[in-house]
Chains A and B, each alone.
Chain A
Amino acid sequence: MSLFGDGLGARSGAPERGEVVLDRASRSFTLSTDRPLTLKEAVVRRRRHERKEVHALREVDLRIAPGEAVGLIGRNGAGKTSTLRCLAGIVPLDSGRAECGGRIATLIELGSGFGGDFSGRENVYLNGALHGFSRAEIEERLDSIREFSELGEFFDLPVRAYSAGMYLRLGFAIIAHLDADVLLIDEILAVGDESFQRKCLKRISERMAAGATLVLVSHDPAAVERVCERVIVLDGGRIAHDGDVAGGLLHYHRMLGADSGGSQSMRPEDAIRPLQIAQLELRDSEGRRRHMYRTGEPLTVELEVVTESQLERRALLALEVRDQRGELCFRTDHSLGIPERSTRVSFEVPGLTLLGGDYDLAVGAYEHEAPGVRLLDRVARFAVAETSGAQGVADLRGKWQVEGQAAAEAVETPSSPLGAEAAAQP
């Protein structure tokens, strides 16, 4: 951006209520031995050379509009939590700008700053105060926080006596009632029982309906998929992907190193789902497992759906193909009826119409009209060989006709059997 660049003036203004802005934000951390510097070392500067710089954010530009729900995902150390801390103002940037418009509520790790000897009630006061609330403002909310947290008589006991779930419920109950314009939440929805999770999600959507913005950091794709409509994948301090949820999750899984072997689970290890995809394989016309195809070649997707409980609703199967940028190329849903304990399903593609590139084929099974979960479960990567003569995603199989010349194939690939095969088909 030049010094007199357009939009600089507009960008440097204060963000509006609920807006989140990162403007060329950079932050690096020095990883030294975990022992803090002593005075002598600071004076002598002996340990300088022992330090290692880690870039948590490198010139990141990001704008989140008021009311958006954004999931921030990435591998460990990708800068997710750092980004959240910078947005919250807990950690200053080295350069650039990080701002949130309006009141911010942060829930970073479980139960921010609960002193063990303090009761749940006292912690409500302390946390409210930390977020800049007055006594009266907190007292106004005390009853609903108490009710939301489901702590009952534990509310007035020291938090030392709490279970992890109680800690979580109290922590979430507090920040959910702070009427924040921006909610910054780190890795919390993965904990807690299902009914409380649902309650949290409901509360979050209520807050968002009231115009609040959510930034959720998570390792758990299920949590992101349930809450967010936009996903940002961070990698090495940069934004590797920014877009819709399915595309973002695919990008994330690809980044995690989808090898060219079989398929890979997209499911977090601890997630319990009524329907699971146990197996997913791509086979060629001769039934061999393969991951490299040519345009026009037949391909069969074979998978196995397993369920541990007897389902009451019919099951649906979703199959998606996305390109490397996470763009949806194809999606289809299919009813399985009431599935058995194990059901083998195949999906036959007579001739692949995709053009050259890497693709992810993801499948997931879900119960009809089940709330929430529509997560794709397993992903397999395959590649389509580059062909000359055509560009884009799909081969439309059109035929050129020039007056006075013989008809030609849409895709001129002399080396591929496509022409012959296509012509052979009725």
Chain B
Amino acid sequence: MLRYSFLFEQMCRRELRQKYKGSALGVVWYFINPLVLMGVYALVFSVMLKVIDIPDYPLFLILGLIVWVFFAQSVVAAAPSLVQNDRLIRKVQFPRETIPAAATTVQFATFLIMLAIVLPVALLVRGSLDPALLLLIPVVAALFAFVLGATLAASVLHAHYRDVEPVLATALLPWFFITPIFFQTEKLPGASEYPLIADALTWGNPIAPFVGSLREILYAGAMPSLAQLVYVIAAGAIALTLGSLLFRRMQRDLAVIL
């Protein structure tokens, strides 16, 4: 694997180049997307509808958005990645994981940059240098593992069954709305009325605890709950394990089916 570290670097460059070839702003688009979403949601929900009463709402929003955008963009970029690189796969033997992993890593890099921009703002606006900040490292690592597992699975499944892309297109938008990005599940008016649904929204959606713990650390300036931390790390480990197992099992005939 180490032998192919330079290949991995090359694949990341390729991914970046191909995504934004011929676009004037290039990589900047990666950052514009969550910022635009943040502005619109803040305007609609907080300023105009006034349905949401969360202090420093844009900060609250952007923390959820960067997690979501990282997850969604990675899966969308990685799912067709093996199919798009069919020429390489059919002609040379190399670790095929590098293809979806590179797509994910490029997204992860933009996530980290967004985080680096948001972090000082969050500290200024919300809190202090709390030791809980150190927990950012395991949470972000777990998030990367989770997304990498998902992209490995999505890419190899898509290579075998081309339904993955339409499934993603169908699933991602509703998934976005049930993820606590522009709301806090426990503060929803219906949450006390339907506690089961609230629990399902909190724990049944693997993205929610990632958003939750990131917000605890950066927005609330507190420790995430132990349950959240355990969930997040377990979700990362399980997703990565299952994703790579699936990839290993299904990658055998890639050169034939592509």
Contacts and interface: CB of A to CB of B under 8 A. Distances in A.
Interface of A: 29, 36-40, 42, 85, 88-92, 104, 106, 108-109, 112-113, 115, 117-118, 125-135, 138
30 contacts: A36-B161, A36-B162, A36-B257, A38-B162, A39-B161, A40-B163, A85-B255, A88-B92, A89-B93, A90-B89, A90-B93, A91-B255, A104-B93, A106-B92, A108-B92, A112-B87, A112-B91, A112-B92, A113-B85, A117-B17, A129-B7, A129-B9, A129-B10, A130-B94, A131-B94, A132-B4, A132-B94, A134-B3, A134-B5, A135-B6
Given A126-B10, A133-B6, A134-B6, 19 more contacts: A36-B162, A36-B257, A38-B163, A42-B160, A90-B90, A106-B92, A112-B91, A113-B88, A113-B92, A115-B18, A117-B21, A126-B14, A129-B4, A130-B7, A130-B94, A131-B92, A131-B94, A135-B6, A138-B6
B50 interface: no
Contacts of A128: 6
Contacts, number: 83
Interface string B142-162: 000000000000000000111
Given A36-B160, A42-B161, A134-B6, A109 B256 contact: no
Interface in B80-114: 85, 87-94
A112 to B, nearest CB: 4
Contacts of B3: 132, 134
B253 interface: yes
Contacts of A29: 256
Nearest to B3: A132
A125 B7 CA distance: 9
Contacts of B21: 117
Contacts of A135: 6, 9
Nearest to B91: A112
Contact of A88 (B11, B85, B93, B160): B93
A130 B253 contact: no
Contacts of A129: 4, 6-7, 9-11
A108 B90 contact: yes
Given A42-B161, A104-B93, A133-B6, A118 B17 contact: yes
Contacts of B257: 36
Nearest to B14: A115
B161 A37 contact: yes
Nearest to B85: A113
Nearest to B22: A117
A113 B92 CA distance: 9
A127 B162 CA distance: 28
Contacts of A112: 87-88, 91-92
A38 B161 contact: yes
Nearest to A133: B6
B161 A113 contact: no
B160 A117 contact: no
A126 B253 CA distance: 23
Interface of B is mostly: helix
Nearest to A82: B256
A89 B251 CA distance: 12
A117 B23 CA distance: 13
A129 B2 CA distance: 12
Contacts of A88: 92-93
A91 B88 CA distance: 13
A129 B102 CA distance: 14
User: Closest 5 A-B residue pairs measured CB to CB?
Assistant: A129-B7, A113-B88, A112-B91, A89-B93, A39-B163
Nearest to A112: B91
Q: Give the interface residue-count category, chain B.
A: 20 to 34
Contacts of B14: 115, 118, 126
A38 B91 CA distance: 25
Contacts of A104: 93
Nearest to A104: B93
A108 B90 CA distance: 9
Nearest to A171: B91
A92 B252 contact: yes
A368 B252 CA distance: 52
B158 to A, nearest CB: 10
Given A92-B253, A115-B14, A118-B14, A130 B88 contact: yes
Q: Which of A42, A112, A132 has the most CB of B within 10 A?
A: A132
A132 B255 contact: no
A127 B7 CA distance: 9
Contacts of A113: 85, 87-88, 91-92
Contacts of A85: 255
Interface in B188-238: none
A112 B92 CA distance: 7
A40 B10 CA distance: 36
Contacts of A91: 253, 255-256
A171 to B, nearest CB: 10
Contacts of A126: 10, 14
B15 to A, nearest CB: 11
A138 B162 CA distance: 36
A125 B10 CA distance: 8
A71 to B, nearest CB: 20
Nearest to B161: A39
Contacts of B91: 90, 106, 108-109, 112-113
A112 B9 CA distance: 18
Contacts of B7: 129-130, 132
A30 to B, nearest CB: 9
Nearest to A128: B6
Contacts of A90: 89-93, 255
Q: Which of B21, B87, B92 has the most CB of A within 10 A?
A: B92
A130 to B, nearest CB: 5
Given A130-B7, A130-B94, A132-B3, A117 B18 contact: yes
Contacts of B9: 129, 135
Contacts of A106: 91-93
A333 B33 CA distance: 77
Contacts of A131: 92, 94
Interface in B1-56: 3-7, 9-11, 14, 17-18, 21
